Amino acid sequence: MSTITESVDVHVDVRTAYNQWTQFETFPRFMEGVDEIRQLDDRTTHWKTTIGGVTREFDAVIAEQRPDERVAWKSVDGPTHAGVVTFHRIDADTTRVTAQMDIDPEGFVENVADKLGVLDRRVKSDLKRFKQFIEQDRAGMETGAWRGEVDPPPQAPTTNPL
């Protein structure tokens, strides 16, 4: 399992950055290797990706979502991955977007890409393209928004063995 953490400062307010990130179906416009994302319901997305010539489809669920703060997800089938994207107000017109992902590469191609740092560079490039997408392509305007909250599942109580 690899952990990737990358950040980018975007020159839009935190609400605009967050609102755009919740438009999962636009991810193929700035994420390399993401062919399609369909929002199935408030918590579930279906992904189709092509990485190194290998196409995979899988579902992911939103584990937690707090407007203007964070979106966390985890895969429910296919490649094992989970992550969180956080939004930090730098000033009225600047937001730091930080992506932290835990990825367990599946198959030879993905494992080689992980070992060579390809996945780290891809996430960094995706965030740079998100910056361009929201600042220039969209002129600081989001394509939509979902302002609902998703609470994390309750944790199982721990028992004290003593």
Could you tell me the domains of the chain? 2-137 (3.30.530.20)
Asked if the model's pLDDT at residue 88 lies above 90, the reply is yes
Asked if the model's pLDDT at residue 6 lies above 90, the reply is yes
Supply the pLDDT for residue 93: 95
Q: For 110-154, how does the pLDDT look when each residue is reduced to its tens digit (9 = 90+)? A: 666 666 666 788 899 999 999 999 998 777 677 776 667 787 776
Q: Which helix (H) or strand (E) holds 124?
A: helix 118-132
The long-range contacts involving 73-81, CB below 8 angstroms and separated by at least 24 positions, are: 73/45, 76/44, 78/47, 78/106, 79/103, 79/104, 79/105, 79/106, 79/110, 80/1, 80/104, 80/106
Asked if the model's pLDDT at residue 102 lies above 80, the reply is yes
